[in-house]
Structure 1
Amino acid sequence: MTKQDKNIGDSEIAYAKINLALHVRKRLSNGYHDIETVFAFLDCGDLLSVKSAEGITLSVIGPFSSGLSDTDNLILQAAHLLASKAKKPRGVHIVLDKHLPIASGIGGGSADAAAALRLLNRFWGIGLTIPELAQLSIPLGADVPACVISQTCRGQGIGQDLEPVDSGALEKYFALLVNPLVPVSTASVFRGWDGIDRGGLQGTTPMEIALSGRNDLQSSAESLAPIISEILLRLNETNVVISRMSGSGATCFGLYESLEEAQAASDIMSTSSERIWTMIGKLK
Protein backbone atom coordinates (compact mmCIF):
# COMPACT_ATOMS: atom_id res chain seq x y z
CA MET A 1 0.00 0.00 0.00
CA THR A 2 1.71 3.20 -1.11
CA LYS A 3 -0.98 5.85 -1.43
CA GLN A 4 -4.61 6.42 -0.57
CA ASP A 5 -7.17 8.79 -2.02
CA LYS A 6 -7.27 12.16 -0.34
CA ASN A 7 -9.99 12.71 2.22
CA ILE A 8 -13.17 13.54 0.37
CA GLY A 9 -16.76 13.91 1.48
CA ASP A 10 -17.70 11.18 3.89
CA SER A 11 -14.33 9.47 4.30
CA GLU A 12 -11.11 10.25 6.16
CA ILE A 13 -7.64 8.71 6.34
CA ALA A 14 -6.28 7.83 9.78
CA TYR A 15 -2.68 8.68 9.00
CA ALA A 16 0.06 6.37 10.24
CA LYS A 17 2.29 8.06 12.83
CA ILE A 18 6.00 7.63 13.41
CA ASN A 19 8.23 9.03 16.14
CA LEU A 20 11.38 10.38 14.50
CA ALA A 21 12.90 10.40 17.99
CA LEU A 22 11.45 9.54 21.39
CA HIS A 23 13.37 10.57 24.51
CA VAL A 24 11.96 9.51 27.86
CA ARG A 25 12.97 11.95 30.60
CA LYS A 26 11.25 10.69 33.78
CA ARG A 27 8.40 8.70 35.29
CA LEU A 28 5.45 10.72 36.57
CA SER A 29 3.44 10.00 39.69
CA ASN A 30 0.26 9.48 37.64
CA GLY A 31 1.76 6.50 35.82
CA TYR A 32 2.61 8.40 32.65
CA HIS A 33 6.10 9.46 31.52
CA ASP A 34 7.59 12.82 30.65
CA ILE A 35 8.82 12.55 27.07
CA GLU A 36 10.23 14.60 24.22
CA THR A 37 9.41 13.46 20.72
CA VAL A 38 8.89 14.50 17.13
CA PHE A 39 5.77 13.13 15.47
CA ALA A 40 5.68 12.73 11.71
CA PHE A 41 2.93 11.28 9.52
CA LEU A 42 2.66 9.23 6.37
CA ASP A 43 0.08 9.98 3.70
CA CYS A 44 -1.62 6.59 4.25
CA GLY A 45 -3.07 4.45 7.04
CA ASP A 46 -6.52 3.22 8.03
CA LEU A 47 -9.64 4.56 6.31
CA LEU A 48 -12.88 5.67 7.97
CA SER A 49 -16.16 6.32 6.21
CA VAL A 50 -19.53 7.42 7.53
CA LYS A 51 -23.18 7.49 6.53
CA SER A 52 -26.42 8.52 8.19
CA ALA A 53 -28.00 5.93 10.46
CA GLU A 54 -29.86 5.48 13.72
CA GLY A 55 -27.69 6.17 16.76
CA ILE A 56 -23.89 6.02 16.63
CA THR A 57 -22.58 2.64 15.49
CA LEU A 58 -19.38 1.13 14.13
CA SER A 59 -18.32 -1.69 11.81
CA VAL A 60 -14.73 -2.86 11.46
CA ILE A 61 -13.45 -4.43 8.24
CA GLY A 62 -10.05 -4.86 6.61
CA PRO A 63 -6.87 -6.92 7.04
CA PHE A 64 -6.49 -6.17 10.75
CA SER A 65 -10.14 -6.14 11.80
CA SER A 66 -9.94 -9.43 13.69
CA GLY A 67 -10.26 -8.98 17.43
CA LEU A 68 -11.31 -5.33 17.28
CA SER A 69 -14.56 -4.52 19.05
CA ASP A 70 -17.32 -2.61 17.28
CA THR A 71 -18.87 -1.60 20.61
CA ASP A 72 -15.89 -0.92 22.88
CA ASN A 73 -13.72 1.19 20.62
CA LEU A 74 -11.94 4.53 20.89
CA ILE A 75 -13.67 5.63 17.69
CA LEU A 76 -17.05 5.44 19.44
CA GLN A 77 -15.67 7.33 22.44
CA ALA A 78 -14.47 10.04 20.08
CA ALA A 79 -17.83 10.16 18.30
CA HIS A 80 -19.79 10.54 21.54
CA LEU A 81 -17.32 13.14 22.79
CA LEU A 82 -17.83 15.22 19.65
CA ALA A 83 -21.59 14.64 19.68
CA SER A 84 -21.70 16.43 23.02
CA LYS A 85 -20.39 19.50 21.16
CA ALA A 86 -22.88 19.30 18.33
CA LYS A 87 -26.21 21.09 18.69
CA LYS A 88 -28.04 18.47 16.65
CA PRO A 89 -25.79 15.51 15.91
CA ARG A 90 -27.24 13.12 13.35
CA GLY A 91 -27.09 9.40 13.81
CA VAL A 92 -24.11 7.86 12.02
CA HIS A 93 -22.72 4.50 11.08
CA ILE A 94 -18.93 4.54 10.90
CA VAL A 95 -16.93 1.95 8.98
CA LEU A 96 -13.28 1.44 9.90
CA ASP A 97 -11.20 -0.21 7.16
CA LYS A 98 -8.28 -1.40 9.28
CA HIS A 99 -4.93 -1.57 7.46
CA LEU A 100 -2.52 -0.80 10.32
CA PRO A 101 -1.46 -3.56 12.72
CA ILE A 102 -2.83 -3.39 16.26
CA ALA A 103 -0.58 -2.32 19.17
CA SER A 104 2.25 -1.45 16.79
CA GLY A 105 3.53 2.02 17.75
CA ILE A 106 2.28 3.87 14.65
CA GLY A 107 -0.90 5.51 15.90
CA GLY A 108 -3.44 2.76 15.35
CA GLY A 109 -6.39 3.37 17.64
CA SER A 110 -5.27 6.93 18.36
CA ALA A 111 -5.14 7.75 14.65
CA ASP A 112 -8.55 6.13 14.15
CA ALA A 113 -10.12 8.20 16.93
CA ALA A 114 -8.50 11.34 15.55
CA ALA A 115 -9.78 10.63 12.06
CA ALA A 116 -13.27 10.06 13.46
CA LEU A 117 -13.16 13.51 15.07
CA ARG A 118 -12.10 15.19 11.82
CA LEU A 119 -14.65 13.24 9.78
CA LEU A 120 -17.62 13.80 12.09
CA ASN A 121 -16.72 17.43 12.63
CA ARG A 122 -17.21 17.83 8.88
CA PHE A 123 -20.18 15.44 8.57
CA TRP A 124 -22.09 17.10 11.37
CA GLY A 125 -21.10 20.61 10.28
CA ILE A 126 -19.79 21.50 13.74
CA GLY A 127 -17.02 23.73 12.40
CA LEU A 128 -14.34 23.23 15.05
CA THR A 129 -10.81 24.04 13.96
CA ILE A 130 -8.11 21.38 14.01
CA PRO A 131 -6.50 22.94 17.14
CA GLU A 132 -9.93 22.92 18.82
CA LEU A 133 -10.43 19.26 17.89
CA ALA A 134 -6.97 18.44 19.24
CA GLN A 135 -7.80 20.13 22.54
CA LEU A 136 -11.11 18.28 22.74
CA SER A 137 -9.35 14.95 22.14
CA ILE A 138 -7.02 15.16 25.16
CA PRO A 139 -9.09 12.76 27.34
CA LEU A 140 -8.93 10.08 24.63
CA GLY A 141 -5.22 9.32 25.00
CA ALA A 142 -1.67 10.65 24.92
CA ASP A 143 -1.18 10.39 21.14
CA VAL A 144 -4.64 11.41 19.98
CA PRO A 145 -4.08 15.21 19.85
CA ALA A 146 -0.99 14.78 17.66
CA CYS A 147 -2.92 12.37 15.44
CA VAL A 148 -5.74 14.91 15.11
CA ILE A 149 -3.23 17.43 13.78
CA SER A 150 -1.47 14.78 11.65
CA GLN A 151 1.35 17.16 10.77
CA THR A 152 4.94 17.21 11.93
CA CYS A 153 5.14 18.49 15.50
CA ARG A 154 7.23 18.35 18.62
CA GLY A 155 5.59 16.78 21.64
CA GLN A 156 6.47 17.17 25.30
CA GLY A 157 4.90 16.25 28.63
CA ILE A 158 3.05 12.99 27.98
CA GLY A 159 3.08 13.88 24.29
CA GLN A 160 0.16 16.31 24.36
CA ASP A 161 2.10 19.57 24.68
CA LEU A 162 2.42 20.09 20.95
CA GLU A 163 4.34 22.55 18.81
CA PRO A 164 3.77 22.23 15.06
CA VAL A 165 7.02 22.56 13.13
CA ASP A 166 7.87 23.02 9.47
CA SER A 167 8.38 19.54 8.04
CA GLY A 168 10.84 21.04 5.56
CA ALA A 169 13.06 18.39 3.98
CA LEU A 170 10.95 15.57 5.47
CA GLU A 171 8.42 15.87 2.66
CA LYS A 172 10.88 14.53 0.10
CA TYR A 173 11.29 11.22 1.95
CA PHE A 174 9.39 7.96 1.61
CA ALA A 175 8.86 5.95 4.78
CA LEU A 176 8.86 2.17 4.89
CA LEU A 177 7.04 0.71 7.89
CA VAL A 178 8.00 -2.81 8.95
CA ASN A 179 6.12 -4.79 11.59
CA PRO A 180 6.70 -8.43 12.65
CA LEU A 181 2.99 -8.92 13.41
CA VAL A 182 3.78 -9.19 17.10
CA PRO A 183 1.60 -6.89 19.24
CA VAL A 184 3.53 -5.10 21.96
CA SER A 185 1.87 -3.58 25.02
CA THR A 186 2.65 0.13 25.37
CA ALA A 187 2.22 -0.09 29.15
CA SER A 188 4.62 -3.04 29.38
CA VAL A 189 7.24 -1.28 27.29
CA PHE A 190 7.10 1.86 29.40
CA ARG A 191 7.30 -0.24 32.57
CA GLY A 192 10.46 -1.80 31.20
CA TRP A 193 12.18 1.55 30.58
CA ASP A 194 15.43 1.61 32.54
CA GLY A 195 14.71 5.00 34.15
CA ILE A 196 17.86 6.67 32.84
CA ASP A 197 17.42 10.21 31.50
CA ARG A 198 19.77 10.43 28.52
CA GLY A 199 18.90 14.02 27.69
CA GLY A 200 16.50 15.93 25.50
CA LEU A 201 16.15 16.39 21.77
CA GLN A 202 19.03 18.01 19.92
CA GLY A 203 18.76 20.02 16.71
CA THR A 204 16.28 22.44 15.20
CA THR A 205 14.81 20.83 12.07
CA PRO A 206 12.96 17.50 12.22
CA MET A 207 15.72 15.75 10.26
CA GLU A 208 18.45 17.15 12.51
CA ILE A 209 16.54 15.90 15.53
CA ALA A 210 15.94 12.52 13.91
CA LEU A 211 19.57 12.01 12.94
CA SER A 212 20.86 12.93 16.42
CA GLY A 213 18.01 11.28 18.32
CA ARG A 214 17.07 7.84 19.57
CA ASN A 215 14.14 5.85 20.91
CA ASP A 216 14.59 5.27 24.63
CA LEU A 217 11.93 2.54 24.60
CA GLN A 218 13.73 0.34 22.09
CA SER A 219 15.65 -1.79 24.60
CA SER A 220 12.51 -2.52 26.61
CA ALA A 221 10.52 -3.35 23.47
CA GLU A 222 13.30 -5.64 22.21
CA SER A 223 13.14 -7.61 25.46
CA LEU A 224 9.48 -8.34 24.67
CA ALA A 225 9.92 -8.76 20.92
CA PRO A 226 13.57 -9.58 20.04
CA ILE A 227 12.75 -9.55 16.33
CA ILE A 228 12.78 -5.74 16.51
CA SER A 229 16.57 -5.75 16.61
CA GLU A 230 16.65 -8.09 13.59
CA ILE A 231 14.37 -5.77 11.62
CA LEU A 232 16.57 -2.77 12.38
CA LEU A 233 19.69 -4.69 11.35
CA ARG A 234 18.07 -5.62 8.04
CA LEU A 235 16.89 -2.06 7.43
CA ASN A 236 20.42 -0.81 8.00
CA GLU A 237 21.61 -3.11 5.22
CA THR A 238 19.42 -1.22 2.73
CA ASN A 239 20.03 2.23 1.26
CA VAL A 240 18.30 3.85 4.22
CA VAL A 241 18.81 7.44 5.41
CA ILE A 242 17.67 6.68 8.94
CA SER A 243 16.03 3.69 10.63
CA ARG A 244 14.39 3.51 14.04
CA MET A 245 11.67 1.85 16.08
CA SER A 246 8.51 3.95 16.28
CA GLY A 247 6.71 4.65 19.55
CA SER A 248 6.63 1.65 21.85
CA GLY A 249 7.10 -0.78 18.93
CA ALA A 250 7.10 -3.21 17.39
CA THR A 251 6.93 -1.27 14.11
CA CYS A 252 10.22 0.06 12.79
CA PHE A 253 10.67 2.51 9.95
CA GLY A 254 13.25 3.48 7.38
CA LEU A 255 13.37 6.76 5.47
CA TYR A 256 14.39 6.68 1.80
CA GLU A 257 15.07 9.33 -0.81
CA SER A 258 13.01 7.61 -3.50
CA LEU A 259 10.00 5.37 -3.83
CA GLU A 260 12.12 2.86 -5.75
CA GLU A 261 14.59 2.56 -2.85
CA ALA A 262 11.74 2.16 -0.35
CA GLN A 263 10.10 -0.50 -2.52
CA ALA A 264 13.38 -2.41 -2.93
CA ALA A 265 13.84 -2.40 0.84
CA SER A 266 10.25 -3.54 1.32
CA ASP A 267 10.85 -6.46 -1.04
CA ILE A 268 13.93 -7.47 0.94
CA MET A 269 12.11 -7.25 4.27
CA SER A 270 9.07 -9.17 2.99
CA THR A 271 11.14 -12.05 1.64
CA SER A 272 13.14 -12.35 4.87
CA SER A 273 10.15 -13.70 6.79
CA GLU A 274 6.55 -14.75 6.22
CA ARG A 275 5.56 -12.85 9.37
CA ILE A 276 6.41 -9.39 8.11
CA TRP A 277 4.00 -6.57 7.26
CA THR A 278 5.14 -3.52 5.34
CA MET A 279 3.62 -0.25 4.19
CA ILE A 280 5.16 2.57 2.18
CA GLY A 281 4.02 6.16 2.35
CA LYS A 282 5.33 9.62 1.64
CA LEU A 283 5.90 11.83 4.66
CA LYS A 284 3.43 14.69 4.86
Structure 2
Amino acid sequence: MSAAALREPAPAKVNLFLHVTGRRADGYHLLDSLVVFAGAADWLEAAPSAGLHLTVAGAEAAGLAAEPDNLVLRAARALAAAAGIAPAAALVLDKALPVASGIGGGSADAAAALRALNALWGLGWSEARLAAVALPLGADMPCCVGSRSCRMAGIGEVLGPAPRLPAFGILLANPRVALATPAVFRARAARFSAPAVLPAAWDDAAAMARDLAATGNDLQPPAIALCPPIAEVLAALRGLPGCLLARMSGSGATCFAIFADPAAARQAAGRLPGEWWRWGGGLHAQRV
Protein backbone atom coordinates (compact mmCIF):
# COMPACT_ATOMS: atom_id res chain seq x y z
CA MET A 1 0.00 0.00 0.00
CA SER A 2 1.40 3.40 -0.97
CA ALA A 3 1.81 6.18 1.58
CA ALA A 4 -1.14 8.08 0.06
CA ALA A 5 -3.47 5.05 -0.03
CA LEU A 6 -6.29 4.51 2.44
CA ARG A 7 -7.48 1.09 3.60
CA GLU A 8 -10.94 0.27 4.97
CA PRO A 9 -12.34 -3.02 6.30
CA ALA A 10 -15.58 -4.41 4.89
CA PRO A 11 -16.76 -6.74 7.67
CA ALA A 12 -19.30 -9.52 7.22
CA LYS A 13 -22.85 -8.51 8.16
CA VAL A 14 -24.66 -11.23 10.15
CA ASN A 15 -28.41 -11.28 10.79
CA LEU A 16 -28.82 -12.90 14.22
CA PHE A 17 -32.53 -13.08 13.39
CA LEU A 18 -34.53 -11.93 10.38
CA HIS A 19 -38.31 -11.51 10.38
CA VAL A 20 -40.24 -10.53 7.26
CA THR A 21 -42.95 -8.28 8.74
CA GLY A 22 -44.79 -7.08 5.64
CA ARG A 23 -44.55 -5.93 2.05
CA ARG A 24 -44.82 -2.47 0.57
CA ALA A 25 -46.95 -1.58 -2.44
CA ASP A 26 -43.79 -1.35 -4.55
CA GLY A 27 -42.93 -4.98 -3.78
CA TYR A 28 -40.13 -4.38 -1.26
CA HIS A 29 -40.37 -6.53 1.85
CA LEU A 30 -40.35 -5.00 5.33
CA LEU A 31 -37.88 -6.55 7.74
CA ASP A 32 -36.97 -6.73 11.40
CA SER A 33 -33.44 -7.89 12.19
CA LEU A 34 -30.65 -7.72 14.72
CA VAL A 35 -27.45 -7.14 12.78
CA VAL A 36 -23.87 -7.60 13.97
CA PHE A 37 -20.58 -7.38 12.08
CA ALA A 38 -18.08 -10.20 12.39
CA GLY A 39 -14.31 -9.91 12.39
CA ALA A 40 -14.26 -11.71 9.02
CA ALA A 41 -13.81 -9.01 6.39
CA ASP A 42 -12.85 -7.96 2.91
CA TRP A 43 -10.49 -4.98 2.62
CA LEU A 44 -10.77 -2.01 0.26
CA GLU A 45 -7.77 0.14 -0.61
CA ALA A 46 -8.10 3.50 -2.35
CA ALA A 47 -5.23 5.53 -3.79
CA PRO A 48 -5.01 8.65 -5.98
CA SER A 49 -5.34 8.04 -9.71
CA ALA A 50 -6.16 9.94 -12.89
CA GLY A 51 -9.25 7.78 -13.46
CA LEU A 52 -11.42 5.24 -11.67
CA HIS A 53 -10.08 1.69 -11.64
CA LEU A 54 -10.86 -1.44 -9.62
CA THR A 55 -8.65 -4.49 -9.13
CA VAL A 56 -10.10 -7.51 -7.34
CA ALA A 57 -7.71 -9.87 -5.59
CA GLY A 58 -7.84 -12.33 -2.70
CA ALA A 59 -9.04 -15.85 -2.02
CA GLU A 60 -12.62 -15.22 -3.18
CA ALA A 61 -11.83 -12.95 -6.14
CA ALA A 62 -12.95 -15.55 -8.69
CA GLY A 63 -16.53 -15.15 -7.52
CA LEU A 64 -16.58 -11.64 -9.00
CA ALA A 65 -14.92 -12.50 -12.31
CA ALA A 66 -18.24 -12.34 -14.19
CA GLU A 67 -19.26 -9.00 -12.68
CA PRO A 68 -17.71 -6.20 -14.79
CA ASP A 69 -19.58 -3.37 -13.01
CA ASN A 70 -18.89 -4.13 -9.36
CA LEU A 71 -21.00 -2.45 -6.68
CA VAL A 72 -17.78 -0.81 -5.46
CA LEU A 73 -17.51 1.08 -8.76
CA ARG A 74 -21.17 2.08 -8.65
CA ALA A 75 -20.70 3.42 -5.12
CA ALA A 76 -17.63 5.40 -6.19
CA ARG A 77 -19.47 6.96 -9.12
CA ALA A 78 -22.49 7.74 -6.97
CA LEU A 79 -20.36 9.53 -4.37
CA ALA A 80 -18.50 11.51 -7.04
CA ALA A 81 -21.77 12.53 -8.68
CA ALA A 82 -23.26 13.63 -5.35
CA ALA A 83 -20.11 15.67 -4.62
CA GLY A 84 -19.97 17.14 -8.11
CA ILE A 85 -16.48 15.85 -8.86
CA ALA A 86 -14.94 13.44 -11.34
CA PRO A 87 -14.52 9.89 -10.00
CA ALA A 88 -10.79 9.28 -9.75
CA ALA A 89 -9.16 6.59 -7.64
CA ALA A 90 -7.28 3.33 -7.93
CA LEU A 91 -9.28 0.81 -5.91
CA VAL A 92 -8.08 -2.63 -4.82
CA LEU A 93 -10.57 -5.05 -3.27
CA ASP A 94 -9.05 -7.92 -1.28
CA LYS A 95 -11.94 -10.38 -1.37
CA ALA A 96 -12.03 -12.83 1.55
CA LEU A 97 -15.82 -13.25 1.96
CA PRO A 98 -17.77 -15.56 -0.37
CA VAL A 99 -19.99 -13.92 -2.99
CA ALA A 100 -23.83 -14.04 -2.82
CA SER A 101 -23.69 -15.64 0.61
CA GLY A 102 -26.08 -13.71 2.88
CA ILE A 103 -23.45 -11.76 4.81
CA GLY A 104 -23.60 -8.52 2.88
CA GLY A 105 -20.18 -8.79 1.26
CA GLY A 106 -20.99 -6.65 -1.77
CA SER A 107 -22.72 -3.98 0.31
CA ALA A 108 -19.90 -3.98 2.85
CA ASP A 109 -17.35 -3.57 0.04
CA ALA A 110 -19.26 -0.64 -1.44
CA ALA A 111 -19.68 0.97 1.98
CA ALA A 112 -15.94 0.64 2.60
CA ALA A 113 -15.36 2.37 -0.74
CA LEU A 114 -17.60 5.27 0.31
CA ARG A 115 -15.69 5.70 3.58
CA ALA A 116 -12.29 5.47 1.91
CA LEU A 117 -13.17 7.85 -0.92
CA ASN A 118 -14.80 10.30 1.48
CA ALA A 119 -11.36 10.62 3.06
CA LEU A 120 -9.29 10.34 -0.13
CA TRP A 121 -11.29 13.08 -1.85
CA GLY A 122 -11.30 15.28 1.26
CA LEU A 123 -15.10 15.52 1.38
CA GLY A 124 -15.47 15.25 5.14
CA TRP A 125 -19.05 14.06 4.81
CA SER A 126 -20.92 12.67 7.83
CA GLU A 127 -21.92 9.03 8.11
CA ALA A 128 -25.57 10.05 7.61
CA ARG A 129 -24.71 11.82 4.36
CA LEU A 130 -22.77 8.81 3.10
CA ALA A 131 -25.69 6.55 4.04
CA ALA A 132 -28.02 8.72 1.93
CA VAL A 133 -25.73 8.18 -1.06
CA ALA A 134 -25.57 4.47 -0.27
CA LEU A 135 -29.30 3.69 0.06
CA PRO A 136 -30.17 3.71 -3.68
CA LEU A 137 -27.46 1.09 -4.19
CA GLY A 138 -29.01 -1.39 -1.76
CA ALA A 139 -31.31 -1.47 1.26
CA ASP A 140 -28.60 -2.90 3.53
CA MET A 141 -26.01 -0.34 2.47
CA PRO A 142 -26.74 2.23 5.25
CA CYS A 143 -26.04 -0.26 8.06
CA CYS A 144 -22.82 -1.31 6.31
CA VAL A 145 -21.64 2.31 6.14
CA GLY A 146 -21.59 2.39 9.95
CA SER A 147 -20.57 -1.28 10.40
CA ARG A 148 -22.06 -1.23 13.91
CA SER A 149 -24.42 -3.63 15.64
CA CYS A 150 -27.96 -2.34 15.11
CA ARG A 151 -31.65 -3.16 14.94
CA MET A 152 -32.67 -2.95 11.30
CA ALA A 153 -36.23 -2.27 10.11
CA GLY A 154 -38.08 -0.90 7.09
CA ILE A 155 -36.61 -2.41 3.94
CA GLY A 156 -33.26 -2.30 5.74
CA GLU A 157 -32.73 1.44 5.90
CA VAL A 158 -34.33 2.17 9.28
CA LEU A 159 -31.61 1.70 11.88
CA GLY A 160 -31.94 1.73 15.64
CA PRO A 161 -29.73 0.74 18.56
CA ALA A 162 -29.07 -2.91 19.25
CA PRO A 163 -29.44 -4.33 22.75
CA ARG A 164 -26.21 -4.18 24.72
CA LEU A 165 -24.39 -7.26 23.52
CA PRO A 166 -22.26 -9.53 25.71
CA ALA A 167 -18.87 -10.78 24.63
CA PHE A 168 -19.36 -13.88 22.48
CA GLY A 169 -17.82 -15.89 19.69
CA ILE A 170 -19.29 -16.37 16.24
CA LEU A 171 -18.57 -19.05 13.65
CA LEU A 172 -19.51 -18.54 9.99
CA ALA A 173 -19.79 -21.42 7.52
CA ASN A 174 -20.82 -21.53 3.87
CA PRO A 175 -21.11 -24.67 1.69
CA ARG A 176 -19.73 -22.68 -1.27
CA VAL A 177 -23.09 -22.44 -3.03
CA ALA A 178 -24.12 -18.97 -4.24
CA LEU A 179 -27.76 -18.14 -3.54
CA ALA A 180 -29.58 -15.20 -5.14
CA THR A 181 -31.65 -13.15 -2.69
CA PRO A 182 -34.60 -12.52 -5.07
CA ALA A 183 -35.06 -16.26 -5.62
CA VAL A 184 -35.24 -16.88 -1.87
CA PHE A 185 -37.86 -14.18 -1.37
CA ARG A 186 -39.92 -15.59 -4.26
CA ALA A 187 -39.84 -19.05 -2.66
CA ARG A 188 -40.95 -17.73 0.73
CA ALA A 189 -44.40 -18.71 2.06
CA ALA A 190 -46.84 -15.80 1.88
CA ARG A 191 -46.96 -15.05 5.59
CA PHE A 192 -45.45 -12.38 7.80
CA SER A 193 -43.93 -12.40 11.28
CA ALA A 194 -44.27 -9.94 14.11
CA PRO A 195 -41.25 -7.86 15.13
CA ALA A 196 -39.16 -9.54 17.80
CA VAL A 197 -39.29 -8.47 21.44
CA LEU A 198 -35.76 -8.13 22.82
CA PRO A 199 -34.36 -7.00 26.18
CA ALA A 200 -32.26 -3.88 26.56
CA ALA A 201 -29.15 -5.95 27.30
CA TRP A 202 -27.83 -9.47 27.76
CA ASP A 203 -25.49 -10.50 30.55
CA ASP A 204 -23.80 -13.31 28.66
CA ALA A 205 -23.81 -15.28 25.42
CA ALA A 206 -26.01 -18.05 26.82
CA ALA A 207 -28.75 -15.58 27.77
CA MET A 208 -28.56 -13.95 24.35
CA ALA A 209 -28.79 -17.31 22.59
CA ARG A 210 -31.82 -18.33 24.67
CA ASP A 211 -33.71 -15.16 23.72
CA LEU A 212 -32.68 -15.37 20.07
CA ALA A 213 -33.95 -18.97 19.96
CA ALA A 214 -37.47 -17.51 20.27
CA THR A 215 -36.89 -15.60 17.03
CA GLY A 216 -36.03 -17.00 13.61
CA ASN A 217 -34.95 -16.35 10.06
CA ASP A 218 -38.03 -16.36 7.84
CA LEU A 219 -35.82 -16.89 4.79
CA GLN A 220 -34.20 -20.05 6.13
CA PRO A 221 -36.90 -22.56 5.06
CA PRO A 222 -37.13 -21.33 1.44
CA ALA A 223 -33.34 -21.09 1.23
CA ILE A 224 -33.00 -24.72 2.35
CA ALA A 225 -35.58 -25.75 -0.24
CA LEU A 226 -33.47 -24.07 -2.94
CA CYS A 227 -30.12 -25.10 -1.46
CA PRO A 228 -30.32 -28.33 0.62
CA PRO A 229 -26.64 -28.13 1.69
CA ILE A 230 -27.67 -25.33 4.07
CA ALA A 231 -29.41 -27.96 6.21
CA GLU A 232 -26.15 -29.94 6.31
CA VAL A 233 -24.24 -26.87 7.48
CA LEU A 234 -26.79 -26.15 10.21
CA ALA A 235 -26.69 -29.75 11.42
CA ALA A 236 -22.89 -29.64 11.57
CA LEU A 237 -22.91 -26.36 13.50
CA ARG A 238 -25.47 -27.62 16.01
CA GLY A 239 -23.33 -30.69 16.62
CA LEU A 240 -20.25 -28.69 17.57
CA PRO A 241 -19.27 -28.68 21.26
CA GLY A 242 -20.20 -25.37 22.85
CA CYS A 243 -22.64 -24.25 20.14
CA LEU A 244 -25.35 -22.12 21.79
CA LEU A 245 -27.39 -21.32 18.68
CA ALA A 246 -27.09 -22.05 14.96
CA ARG A 247 -29.02 -20.25 12.22
CA MET A 248 -28.74 -19.03 8.65
CA SER A 249 -27.78 -15.39 8.04
CA GLY A 250 -29.70 -13.18 5.61
CA SER A 251 -30.86 -15.02 2.50
CA GLY A 252 -28.07 -17.60 2.82
CA ALA A 253 -26.25 -19.74 2.23
CA THR A 254 -23.89 -18.68 5.05
CA CYS A 255 -24.89 -19.94 8.48
CA PHE A 256 -23.57 -18.93 11.89
CA ALA A 257 -23.17 -20.42 15.33
CA ILE A 258 -22.85 -18.53 18.61
CA PHE A 259 -20.26 -19.60 21.19
CA ALA A 260 -19.34 -18.37 24.64
CA ASP A 261 -16.18 -16.65 23.41
CA PRO A 262 -14.14 -16.03 20.23
CA ALA A 263 -11.55 -18.68 21.11
CA ALA A 264 -14.24 -21.38 21.21
CA ALA A 265 -15.56 -20.23 17.82
CA ARG A 266 -12.08 -20.31 16.28
CA GLN A 267 -11.46 -23.80 17.61
CA ALA A 268 -14.84 -25.03 16.35
CA ALA A 269 -14.14 -23.72 12.84
CA GLY A 270 -11.35 -26.27 12.53
CA ARG A 271 -13.84 -29.11 13.05
CA LEU A 272 -15.85 -28.26 9.92
CA PRO A 273 -15.23 -29.75 6.45
CA GLY A 274 -12.26 -28.18 4.71
CA GLU A 275 -14.16 -27.73 1.45
CA TRP A 276 -16.54 -25.26 3.13
CA TRP A 277 -15.71 -21.61 3.61
CA ARG A 278 -15.51 -21.10 7.38
CA TRP A 279 -14.31 -18.51 9.84
CA GLY A 280 -14.42 -18.30 13.63
CA GLY A 281 -13.68 -15.43 16.01
CA GLY A 282 -15.32 -12.37 17.53
CA LEU A 283 -17.11 -9.27 16.35
CA HIS A 284 -15.62 -6.48 14.27
CA ALA A 285 -14.32 -3.56 16.36
CA GLN A 286 -17.17 -1.08 16.10
CA ARG A 287 -16.68 2.36 14.58
CA VAL A 288 -17.13 5.31 16.93
Same-fold call, TM cutoff 0.5: yes
1:247 is the counterpart of 2:250: yes
CA contact (8 A) 1:35 1:157 kept: yes
> What's the counterpart of residue 3 of structure 1?
none
Instruction: Give the whole-Å Cα distance in 2 for the aligned partners of 1:168 and 1:260.
Output: 17
CA contact (8 A) 1:16 1:106 kept: yes
Instruction: Give the whole-Å Cα distance in 2 for the aligned partners of 1:281 and 1:133.
Output: 29
- Change over 3 Å in CA distance of 1:96–1:188 after alignment to 2: same
CA contact (8 A) 1:21 1:209 kept: no
> What's the counterpart of residue 123 of structure 1?
120
CA contact (8 A) 2:268 2:280 kept: no
User: What is the TM-score with the length of structure 2 in the denominator?
Assistant: 0.88
How far did 1:133 drift?
1.2
> What's the counterpart of residue 38 of structure 2?
42
Report 1:58-77 matches (<5 A): 58-68=54-64, 71-77=68-74
> What's the counterpart of residue 53 of structure 2?
57
CA contact (8 A) 2:174 2:277 kept: yes
> What's the counterpart of residue 23 of structure 2?
27
Instruction: Give the whole-Å Cα distance in 1 for the aligned partners of 2:193 and 2:27.
Output: 20
How far did 1:231 drift?
1.1
Count of residues in correspondence between the two structures: 272
- Change over 3 Å in CA distance of 1:195–1:147 after alignment to 2: same
SS in 1 for 2:197: coil
Instruction: Give the whole-Å Cα distance in 2 for the aligned partners of 1:108 and 1:156.
Output: 19
- Change over 3 Å in CA distance of 1:90–1:251 after alignment to 2: closer
> What's the counterpart of residue 281 of structure 1?
281
Q: 2:129 aligns with which of 132, 154, 168?
A: 132
SS in 1 for 2:77: helix
CA displacement 1:201-226 (0-9 Å, x = unmatched): 12134737634211000000001111
Instruction: Give the whole-Å Cα distance in 2 for the aligned partners of 1:221 and 1:17.
Output: 18
SS in 1 for 2:195: coil
1:191 is the counterpart of 2:193: no
Moved more, 13-22 or 199-208: 199-208
> What's the counterpart of residue 96 of structure 1?
93
User: What is the TM-score with the length of structure 1 in the denominator?
Assistant: 0.89
Instruction: Give the whole-Å Cα distance in 2 for the aligned partners of 1:226 and 1:81.
Output: 38
- Change over 3 Å in CA distance of 1:27–1:74 after alignment to 2: same
How far did 1:9 drift?
6.0
Instruction: Give the whole-Å Cα distance in 2 for the aligned partners of 1:282 and 1:205.
Output: 21
Instruction: Give the whole-Å Cα distance in 2 for the aligned partners of 1:266 and 1:95.
Output: 28
Gaps of 5+ in 2: 202-207
- Change over 3 Å in CA distance of 1:264–1:67 after alignment to 2: closer
CA displacement 1:66-125 (0-9 Å, x = unmatched): 142574111011101111233555721100011000100001111111110011111111
Instruction: Give the whole-Å Cα distance in 1 for the aligned partners of 2:42 and 2:128.
Output: 22
Identical aligned pairs, as a percentage?
A: 41
CA displacement 1:237-256 (0-9 Å, x = unmatched): 12112211000000000111
CA contact (8 A) 1:59 1:96 kept: yes
Report 1:104-253 matches (<5 A): 104-169=101-166, 172-205=167-200, 207=208, 210-238=212-240, 239-253=242-256
CA contact (8 A) 1:179 1:277 kept: yes
Moved more, 30-39 or 204-213: 204-213
> What's the counterpart of residue 271 of structure 2?
268
How far did 1:263 drift?
2.2
CA contact (8 A) 1:145 1:160 kept: yes
How far did 1:55 drift?
1.2
Instruction: Give the whole-Å Cα distance in 1 for the aligned partners of 2:78 and 2:10.
Output: 18
Moved more, 178-187 or 224-233: 224-233
> What's the counterpart of residue 5 of structure 1?
none
- One-letter code aligned to 1:84: A
Q: 1:83 aligns with which of 58, 80, 86?
A: 80
> What's the counterpart of residue 13 of structure 1?
9
SS in 1 for 2:61: coil
Gaps of 5+ in 1: 1-7
Moved more, 254-263 or 222-231: 254-263
